[in-house]
Structure 1
Amino acid sequence: MALETSPEQPAPVRQIANAIAGWIDRLGAVWVEGQVAQVSRRPGVQTVFLTLRDTVADISIPVTCSRTLFDGLNPPLVEGASVVLWARPSFYANRGTLSLYAREIRMVGLGELLARLERRRQLLAAEGLFAAELKRPLPFLPGRIGLITAPNSAAERDVVENARRRWPRVSFEAAYAAMQGPRSAVEVIEALGRLDAHPEVDVIVIARGGGSVEDLLPFSDEALIRAVHAARTPVVSAIGHEPDSPLLDLVADVRASTPTDAAKRVVPDVAEELRLVATARDRLRSTLGGWLAREQAALDALRSRPALADPRSLLDDRSAEVAALRDRARRTLSHALDRAADDIGHHRARARALSPLETLRRGYAVVQDAGGHVLASVDGVAAGAAVSVRVADGRIHAEVTSTEESP
């Protein structure tokens, strides 16, 4: 019921605020559609604050929900998403503010589409199709580039012109397909199969210009994602612009932000490569020059040493040492020969002293009979027998006239 008030009997603020709160409570929970304009999550607070904006009029209303409800949304709720809320209006009398307390949040329109794509992304990621270790490196200079795009499209011109501007001799193998519409995914898969089987194609670029989320849906098709995953040739995804992120970007070996960026990634810049070669050559020359300079300095240092500055001084010293050693050897050998000669003389004297010839030289003689036997006694020697007397310097032949025994 309406409050009865007058200038003489006005209602206090608290009564008006409580009345408004009561009227709003009688509204009960309602379904509300709008766009999330702002999300505020405060640390340590179990309530998440949202701002829900009307999609047509310039009207917005605060919304609160539990952190459990907000964190359980898949995909996560972001600013700009279109949602439908099952919420209960409430009026906070102390501050005079109206808000909605959300008990259920659903994505609608584009938000629902993004939610389906997010669920598909999570499923494929769980299978390992987006694993970083599966990404293959692009060849440094591909012999032929496979290009999947729409015929006579701006994306084709961007890729071809920018690639040839960077490397004029690059060649392309084009496989045209519809880049949007219901047949797009099927035709792109067929073109991918032809280029993947081509023996001369080293890398495949799938290029398309920008567009809405609905236009880019074919490039999140599960069949296309699995075909790119199974391809043997490295694949570059160049779909849309920088903010666009179809699932093809996740499974491709390289993701390019634009078709122009794809051209820069698949072929090197000939001017940059020439600059790098010149820089490397200069560094090599500098390194080699420095090494030669160090070696020359080392040689100069060695040559400046006294032994190498005048090599004859070292030879003269060694020659003097050789001469001294030679003289010492001669003296040692001479002394050794002298001692050996003395020893030989001593041994010869002793040998001579023991020789019978020396005895003969002292006046002794050896008498032998005709048979050559030495006569040591007069027995057996008859007068008239022929004998031979051996003296120091020869023999005396004689005849025995008589014998006489010693007393």
Structure 2
Amino acid sequence: MPDRTAQDGPQTGAGTRANSAEQPWPVRSVAIKVAQWIDRLGSIWVEGQITQINMRPGTRTAFLVLRDPSADMSLSVTCDPDLLRNSAVPLQEGSRVVVYGKLSFFTGRGTISLRIIEIRPIGIGELLARVERLKALLAAEGLFDPRLKRPIPFLPATIGLITGRASAAERDVLTVARNRWPAVRFEIRNTAVQGPTAVPQMLAALAELDRDPAVDVIVLARGGGSVEDLLPFSDEALCRAIVAATTPVVSAIGHEPDNPLSDFVADLRAATPTDAAKRVVPDAAAELAGVRELRARTAAALRGWVDRETEALAQLRSRPVLADPLRELDLRHQEVERLRTAARRCTEQLIRTESTAARHLREKLTAVGPAATLARGYAVVQRVTGPERHVVRTIEDTPAGSQLRIRVADGAVTAAALGTQALGAEHTDTGRN
């Protein structure tokens, strides 16, 4: 182990001997030094809440316990009993006071006590003014911002309840909640809801319930009371603990006109404990009625939808294209038949016209053709001498002895040329007869 020398311990001056394991200070020296250090603090003003008054008859010293309203810390206080008796405002346990005195360390017992020579009760007006100043401070920090409010679950599995033991607030919350939803579960923490121990106990209960993962919402409930009775719910430490909690917190303090600061920082403010139970726990009967109504509305909406779709289908089916699907085909068939008839008629007309024209042409050709000429008594004379046949056009084409083919209407005659005779000749060439 390292040696702890006087450098690690307190120094009281050049005349103080060094402190070490080999040269320890006796208890009396430590007690005297502590008394000297505390005496240097001088006289001070201290604010707190009286939690205990012990003033025995015939004694010249009254003993009090002064407690911090926001923390589990206290201080022993002594004073002259006349200081308590002559107070302008009667002092009792729970009174908020400001005292002036000097701390003393009793070396014989090793205890510290505050000896006061002046005590000033804090009036309700001053308390309310302090509350207003704290309210302005918290508002400036944004702790009242609605955007910080956490939603309350619709059906919490477990509700944490912080309230006084066997109080009307506890009874109202439990009765109303169980009447509305019989299966609801509670985690109850009974604490003081007024007096000097209220804030520390509520802070501890709030922290415990906030750590419990089964708790879905925490209700801070108390019935009505005087302004002084409700002051713990305007305590700064409690307000900041509500904001810091991860579980939604419902503030149900007093009655409708009461507005402690916990109402502003909580996630939901209820007018009364009964109202808190109604707003946190749904009404089973109302929810069942709502379900029935929704089912009825759903069924009606479904029937309406089916009716509308049925009507739409009926309208679609009543349309000509669906009522008589083959109608268009029949119309097109009739049109095709009409076009076919017209085409046939036009074709036949064209054929008749062309046939007539062809007959006329044929008649014309027949009239001017060689067969018709032959039928009228004419003949076609061809010379067949030689490799080719030549039609005889002049007498020079048929020298005497030429073989001829004479075509008439009903056949042909083979002959030979005996001689020729020119038109207008008066005698016939005998050599050719």
TM-score for both structures, normalised by structure 1: 0.52
Q: Measured at CA, do residues 305 and 174 of structure 1 come closer, stay the same or move farther in structure 2, by a change above 3 Å? A: same
Per the alignment, in what secondary structure is the counterpart of residue 272 of structure 1?
helix
In the alignment, the residues of structure 1 paired with residue 302 and residue 311 of structure 2 have an alpha-carbon distance, to the nearest angstrom, of 14
Please list the CA deviations of residues 342-377 of structure 1 after superposition, one character each: whole Å capped at 9, or x if unmatched.
xxxxxxxxxxxxxxxxxxxxx99xxxxxxxxxxxxx
Shift of 1:257: 0.7
In the alignment, the residues of structure 1 paired with residue 341 and residue 266 of structure 2 have an alpha-carbon distance, to the nearest angstrom, of 91
In the alignment, the residues of structure 1 paired with residue 181 and residue 339 of structure 2 have an alpha-carbon distance, to the nearest angstrom, of 79
Please list the CA deviations of residues 62-86 of structure 1 after superposition, one character each: whole Å capped at 9, or x if unmatched.
xxxxxxxxxxxxxxxxxxxxxxxxx
Shift of 1:300: 1.9
Q: Measured at CA, do residues 311 and 110 of structure 1 come closer, stay the same or move farther in structure 2, by a change above 3 Å? A: same
In the alignment, the residues of structure 2 paired with residue 329 and residue 269 of structure 1 have an alpha-carbon distance, to the nearest angstrom, of 86
Shift of 1:197: 0.3
Partner of 2:296 in structure 1? Answer: 282
Asked whether 1:140 is paired with 2:150, we answer: no
Q: Measured at CA, do residues 329 and 221 of structure 1 come closer, stay the same or move farther in structure 2, by a change above 3 Å? A: farther
Partner of 1:265 in structure 2? Answer: 279
Partner of 1:236 in structure 2? Answer: 250
Asked whether 1:255 is paired with 2:255, we answer: no
Partner of 1:207 in structure 2? Answer: 221
In the alignment, the residues of structure 2 paired with residue 287 and residue 330 of structure 1 have an alpha-carbon distance, to the nearest angstrom, of 62
Q: Measured at CA, do residues 293 and 247 of structure 1 come closer, stay the same or move farther in structure 2, by a change above 3 Å? A: same
- Count of paired positions: 229
Partner of 2:209 in structure 1? Answer: 195
Shift of 1:147: 0.6
Shift of 1:311: 2.8
Task: Point out where structure 1 has 5 or more consecutive residues left out of the alignment.
Answer: 1-107, 332-362, 365-407
In the alignment, the residues of structure 2 paired with residue 231 and residue 325 of structure 1 have an alpha-carbon distance, to the nearest angstrom, of 91
- Identify the range of structure 1 (254-263 vs 277-286) with the bigger mean alpha-carbon deviation: 277-286
Per the alignment, in what secondary structure is the counterpart of residue 162 of structure 2?
strand
Shift of 1:189: 0.3
Q: Aligned runs of 1:6-405 on 2, under 5 Å?
A: 109-321=123-335
Shift of 1:110: 2.5
Per the alignment, in what secondary structure is the counterpart of residue 114 of structure 1?
helix
Shift of 1:316: 1.9
Please list the CA deviations of residues 142-175 of structure 1 after superposition, one character each: whole Å capped at 9, or x if unmatched.
1110111112211111111101111111101111
Per the alignment, in what secondary structure is the counterpart of residue 215 of structure 1?
coil
In the alignment, the residues of structure 1 paired with residue 229 and residue 335 of structure 2 have an alpha-carbon distance, to the nearest angstrom, of 100
Q: Measured at CA, do residues 330 and 144 of structure 1 come closer, stay the same or move farther in structure 2, by a change above 3 Å? A: farther
Please list the CA deviations of residues 167-193 of structure 1 after superposition, one character each: whole Å capped at 9, or x if unmatched.
111101111211111010000000000
Q: Measured at CA, do residues 313 and 221 of structure 1 come closer, stay the same or move farther in structure 2, by a change above 3 Å? A: same
Q: Measured at CA, do residues 127 and 321 of structure 1 come closer, stay the same or move farther in structure 2, by a change above 3 Å? A: same
Q: Measured at CA, do residues 319 and 188 of structure 1 come closer, stay the same or move farther in structure 2, by a change above 3 Å? A: same
Task: Point out where structure 2 has 5 or more consecutive residues left out of the alignment.
Answer: 1-121, 346-386, 389-433
Please list the CA deviations of residues 185-243 of structure 1 after superposition, one character each: whole Å capped at 9, or x if unmatched.
00000000000000110000011111101111111111111111100000000111111
Please list the CA deviations of residues 45-77 of structure 1 after superposition, one character each: whole Å capped at 9, or x if unmatched.
xxxxxxxxxxxxxxxxxxxxxxxxxxxxxxxxx
Shift of 1:290: 2.0
Please list the CA deviations of residues 129-148 of structure 1 after superposition, one character each: whole Å capped at 9, or x if unmatched.
11111111100111110111
Shift of 1:281: 1.8
In the alignment, the residues of structure 1 paired with residue 178 and residue 340 of structure 2 have an alpha-carbon distance, to the nearest angstrom, of 85
Shift of 1:285: 2.0
Shift of 1:115: 1.3
Shift of 1:314: 2.8
Shift of 1:273: 1.2
Per the alignment, in what secondary structure is the counterpart of residue 311 of structure 1?
coil
In the alignment, the residues of structure 2 paired with residue 109 and residue 307 of structure 1 have an alpha-carbon distance, to the nearest angstrom, of 93
Per the alignment, in what secondary structure is the counterpart of residue 285 of structure 1?
helix
Per the alignment, in what secondary structure is the counterpart of residue 264 of structure 1?
helix
Partner of 2:8 in structure 1? Answer: none
Shift of 1:312: 3.1
Partner of 2:37 in structure 1? Answer: none
In the alignment, the residues of structure 2 paired with residue 177 and residue 329 of structure 1 have an alpha-carbon distance, to the nearest angstrom, of 109
Please list the CA deviations of residues 85-109 of structure 1 after superposition, one character each: whole Å capped at 9, or x if unmatched.
xxxxxxxxxxxxxxxxxxxxxxx94
Per the alignment, in what secondary structure is the counterpart of residue 326 of structure 2?
helix
Percent of counterpart pairs with the same letter? Answer: 64
Q: Measured at CA, do residues 317 and 117 of structure 1 come closer, stay the same or move farther in structure 2, by a change above 3 Å? A: same
Letter in 1 for 2:144: F
In the alignment, the residues of structure 2 paired with residue 139 and residue 329 of structure 1 have an alpha-carbon distance, to the nearest angstrom, of 84
In the alignment, the residues of structure 2 paired with residue 198 and residue 121 of structure 1 have an alpha-carbon distance, to the nearest angstrom, of 29
TM-score for both structures, normalised by structure 2: 0.49
RMSD value, Cα: 2.7
Per the alignment, in what secondary structure is the counterpart of residue 279 of structure 1?
helix
Partner of 1:9 in structure 2? Answer: none
Shift of 1:299: 2.0
- Identify the range of structure 1 (271-280 vs 160-169) with the bigger mean alpha-carbon deviation: 271-280
In the alignment, the residues of structure 2 paired with residue 261 and residue 297 of structure 1 have an alpha-carbon distance, to the nearest angstrom, of 50
- Identify the range of structure 1 (251-260 vs 310-319) with the bigger mean alpha-carbon deviation: 310-319
Letter in 1 for 2:261: L
Q: Measured at CA, do residues 207 and 319 of structure 1 come closer, stay the same or move farther in structure 2, by a change above 3 Å? A: same
